[in-house]
Amino acid sequence: MLSLAVSLKRHQPAVTTDSERALVARFCAGDAAAFDCIFRQNQDYVYRLCVGMLADEEWAHDTTQEVFLRAYRSLNKFRGDASLRTWLYRIAINECLQQLRKSRREEPMDDALMQEWQGRAVCGLAGTPASTTMLEDALAQRALMDDVRAALRQLSPSHRAALTLRYFEEMSYDEIAEAMNSSPQRVRALLHRAREAFRQAYLKNESMNQ
């Protein structure tokens, strides 16, 4: 049996760092180059979140640009009570939700994205030993990748966001709560429902294919 583990090491600050404050202060003082630094430091993180929610790389790229445009326009309102990256995640989540409401698009994740999910995230979505075994078997057998992709596609945007932040961006419950404008208790409940939704979708797809 393939043994897969997810590292949940935190690599983002929970509060604003001195360097972030300095960049924001420079920008507010009229130094436009400071925003270029903010963009370079955070674009990959924001893009991954958008891909996780929208399941479409081109769409996520365009949305990432819109997120940073919104951030540029409102950076002078940044209070610093959370990290700058968390603040950007909050903007990204709201923007993705708006995009989904407008378009009602339901696109499958492409193979490149699925490989990243397989390697870093999907194996951590299970909440019980039985479902863990199920997912490990699925990830070990590339032939079942379509079933995993189909299950992820059926998740709601909020479930995708929570799972992406927890298992892909490796954020704590407190950090996810900040990003989703929620509470750690609600985030725990949301993740529980998201894992269960994934499990149910996967099992349903599996039974239909038998």
Residues 89 and 131 in one domain: no
Range of the domain at 53: 18-103
Asked if residue 11 is part of any domain, the answer here is: no
Residues 197 and 115 in one domain: yes
Closest CA to 89 of 203, 192, 13: 13
Q: Which spans in 108-183 are helix H?
A: 111-120, 129-140, 145-153, 157-163, 173-179
- 71 in Cβ contact with 24 (< 8 Å): no
Q: Is a pLDDT exceeding 70 seen at residue 118?
A: no
pLDDT in tens, 26-56: 999 999 899 999 999 999 999 999 988 887 8
Q: How many CA atoms lie within 13 A of 18 on its CB side?
A: 0
Provide the pLDDT for residue 16. Answer: 54
Q: What percent of the chain has pLDDT over 70?
A: 69
Q: How far apart are CA 48 and CA 183, in angstroms?
A: 23
pTM metric for this prediction: 0.69
Domain boundary among 103, 128, 155: 103
Pair of tokens at residue 154: 């059926």
CATH number for 45: 1.10.1740.10
- Tracing tokens 């998201």 back to the chain, one arrives at 194
Asked if residue 7 is part of any domain, the answer here is: no
